């Protein structure tokens, strides 16, 4: 803090009124006032600490001089004791001022130096003046008992004022310490508020420039804030266009605690698939949602699924047309060998040839089953109904298909078949059901595949296994939505809705 001239209230100037008549005492008083005035004019911790230290040291020296004078006079015990107590109090005040410098140099301001100035002025003009009068009287040979009655009254007043000043000093220090605590609390609160503003600014910057679309909605799902990516996803120029609108106006469905794949409609009316993840609401009902465009992911999934289907078809054809036909030929050779050996009367060898033919037929059946597993549907997508019926017949499950089931892409048909295959397999292995039913319904907008069972159901808090994760992946690969819920009559229902025109 820069130095500045002290106010007049904190400055002590020498005057005739401060003279006691004792030359040594008056000289020391002048020096003491000069040191005090330097304290009052000093700013900065180090300089103030040095000035107060000088004041403390000189005051103790001066008080020692006065104590020696009082003992030599000698003064009355009560007057001397009161005088020494006053000296002790001043030293205590200066030491407390030094402690305040270590806490905060600004605390040694006008209030404290003003009080010390007041204390010194009263002490010199009152108690020290009374001491000097009595010492001078004793030096002239006047007895203490012969002192004027007014001197005793003045001494009583001085001692009363000394007590008042002591109380004022305590209140001054208490006020300064309270101000320091208040200043610390204000500074701490300002630091917290600054940190909160900084954190809010950094959060807002992260929010606004995040690569994913972020929305903040109120308890009524009205959009309170949308970042730059969200504006681009919706196709709006600025956030003003969203003010007062609900997120449900753009997003077909909003999630609870689990991520949800749904459709988003931009201002241009185009639908695009998105994944929505929502944070829990705060105490005011506000919550944040992340909306990710998964169109590219869906396209990659479809391409991967199509590549997998084509590779499976290739492997199926290779097994059927390659290894399968070779086994057919080998089987014909084994049958011919059996007949020749039997004709030649080599019965034992003929039986071995017959067993060889049987094993070849078993191997051929296994290869044909494997080839059918790789390519369960005939080309053209029209075989989905028949393949599902055959699957349910093999597994002893009910099957019901109806509606518009034509015009299904081969890749879509295969993924729906695989989803049904996995759902039926899960129900048979894990549900403990007495009845499992498959239903396929078609309409102008798409297909709905359902598999229901009356088994034990799926625990809501159970981790999702590989089978369910695979079904979700297959559904996503064709732009379908998969749901797993408790069936109305008990058990579990797995439903997959495929739109004919996915986003």
Evaluate whether 8-187 and 384-499 have a shared fold.
no
Model confidence pLDDT, tens digit, residues 370-405? 666 666 666 555 578 888 888 898 888 999 988 877
What strand order describes the sheet that includes 398-403? 398-403, 436-442, 446-453, 492-499, 481-486
CATH topology for 8-187?
1.20.120
Contacts of 48 (CB under 8 A, 6+ apart): 39, 42, 101, 105, 108
Model confidence pLDDT, tens digit, residues 435-489? 899 999 988 888 999 999 988 877 655 666 777 888 888 888 888 888 888 877 7
* CA within 13 Å, CB half, 159: 14
Domain boundary assignment for the chain: 8-187, 213-293, 299-374, 384-499
User: Rounded to whole angstroms, what are the CA distances from 439 to 19, 422, 423, 452, 495?
Assistant: 116, 14, 12, 8, 9
For the domain spanning 384-499, the CATH number is 3.30.565.10
Model confidence pLDDT, tens digit, residues 228-282? 999 999 988 887 888 788 888 888 777 776 777 788 888 888 888 888 888 888 8
Average pLDDT over residues 329-334: 81
CATH topology for 213-293?
Beta-Lactamase (3.30.450)
Average pLDDT over residues 133-148: 72
Residues forming beta bridges with residue 468, ordered by sequence position: none
Model confidence pLDDT, tens digit, residues 401-432? 888 777 788 888 888 988 998 898 888 888 88
- Nearest Cα neighbor of 118 from 169, 83, 189, 70 is 169
């Amino acid at each position: 803090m820069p130095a500045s001239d002290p106010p007049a209230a904190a400055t002590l100037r020498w005057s005739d009124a401060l003279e006691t008549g004792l030359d040594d005492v008056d000289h020391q008083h002048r020096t003491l006032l000069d040191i005090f005035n330097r304290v009052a004019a000093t700013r900065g911790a180090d300089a103030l600490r040095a000035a107060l230290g000088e004041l403390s040291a000189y005051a103790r020296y001066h008080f020692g001089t006065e104590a020696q004078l009082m003992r030599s006079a000698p003064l009355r015990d009560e007057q001397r004791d009161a005088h020494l107590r006053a000296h002790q109090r001043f030293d205590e005040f200066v030491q407390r001022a030094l402690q305040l410098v270590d806490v905060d140099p600004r605390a040694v301001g006008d209030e404290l130096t003003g009080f010390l100035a007041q204390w010194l002025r009263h002490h010199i003009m009152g108690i020290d003046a009374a001491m000097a009068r009595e010492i001078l009287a004793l030096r002239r040979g006047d007895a203490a008992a012969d002192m004027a009655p007014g001197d005793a009254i003045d001494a009583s007043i001085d001692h009363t004022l000394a007590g008042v000043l002591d109380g004022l000093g305590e209140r001054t220090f208490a006020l300064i310490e309270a101000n320091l605590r208040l200043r610390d609390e204000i500074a701490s609160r300002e630091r917290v508020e600054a940190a909160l503003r900084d954190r809010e600014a950094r959060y807002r910057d992260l929010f606004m420039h995040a690569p994913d679309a972020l929305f903040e909605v109120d308890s009524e799902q009205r959009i309170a804030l949308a970042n730059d990516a969200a504006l681009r996803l919706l196709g709006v120029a600025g956030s003003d266009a969203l003010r007062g609108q609900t997120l449900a106006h753009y997003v077909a469905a909003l999630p609870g605690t689990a991520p949800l794949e749904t459709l988003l409609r931009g201002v241009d009316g185009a639908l695009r698939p998105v994944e929505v993840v929502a944070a829990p609401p705060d105490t005011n009902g506000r919550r944040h949602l992340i909306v990710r465009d998964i169109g590219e992911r869906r396209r990659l999934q479809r391409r991967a699924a199509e590549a997998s289907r084509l590779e499976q078809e290739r492997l199926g054809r290779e097994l059927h047309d390659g290894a399968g036909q070779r086994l057919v030929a080998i089987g014909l050779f084994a049958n011919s060998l059996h007949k020749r050996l039997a004709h030649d009367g080599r019965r034992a060898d003929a039986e071995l040839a017959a067993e060889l033919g049987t094993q070849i037929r078993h191997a051929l059946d296994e290869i044909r089953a494997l080839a059918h597993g790789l390519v369960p549907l005939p080309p053209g997508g029209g075989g989905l109904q028949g393949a599902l019926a055959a699957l349910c017949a093999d597994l002893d499950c009910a099957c019901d298909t109806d509606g518009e089931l034509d015009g299904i892409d081969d890749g879509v048909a295969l993924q729906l078949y695989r989803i049904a295959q996995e759902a039926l397999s899960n129900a048979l292995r894990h549900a403990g059901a007495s009845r499992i039913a498959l239903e396929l319904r078609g309409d102008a907008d798409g297909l709905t595949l359902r598999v229901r069972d009356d088994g034990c159901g799926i625990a809501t808090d159970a981790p999702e296994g590989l089978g369910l994760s695979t079904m979700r992946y297959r559904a996503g690969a064709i732009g379908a939505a998969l749901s797993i819920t408790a069936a109305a009559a008990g058990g579990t229902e797995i439903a997959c809705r495929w739109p004919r025109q996915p986003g």
